[in-house]
Structure 1
């Protein structure tokens, strides 16, 4: 983890809206097809809404038609944490911000998308903010 001083749930509740708190701090999921970034093609960097850490780039975003923003790769492997999630009676891999530990969504593999990694990072829009800027290189 990078420099981040852990804060209490009480402090998170002051910083986040109730909906943001539910998803980011309680591993909730926003409803499909309602998120701000589900279909956007705006160029830029997607940051963790809780701490501002850069997590994904628009160049790795693709249309998966699943109801949530989808990326085939994070900005860098050390920017996220992947951990097993056996909730809801299924095996999934949860994606967390490595800096603050906030829940982003889940990553799925082997679904047959035509992407370089065959991975789909299915991320809640409410977990992100988009820093609109041209992507270089």
Structure 2
């Protein structure tokens, strides 16, 4: 049986939050949603926070062409070499500047120095909870749904 996660990450790949801020957000979420667990993870460098088995496609933010190809794998490998500190890319289809974090992931994915994982929630995360987490973390967030 697989596990389902709601992952909350800062929208900016290099946006950092303190362990104390993460703890406050976790405590708030524990009061906001029924789940098996709610945990925070803080990383020294950005990490790729993916949607697991939900990933269907990755496309160009400019023209919509699918980039879920060897090109994306090579771009990820190159970014991994510098611990995802440099995510800048040039899209192969449009030859435009972008970043791995700006590609259109279907389902959403992202890069982050912090994430909060809600494991096996029994309900959906309400919009007012997301707004409060953004206030607690002092940053806009992305929501990533993941099945592993």
TM-score, normalization by structure 2: 0.26
- Larger-Rg structure: 2
Higher relative contact order, chain-length normalized (CA < 8 Å, sep 6+): 2
Q: Comparing both structures, which one devotes a greater share of its residues to helix?
A: 2
Normalised to the residue count of structure 1, the TM-score between the two structures is 0.27
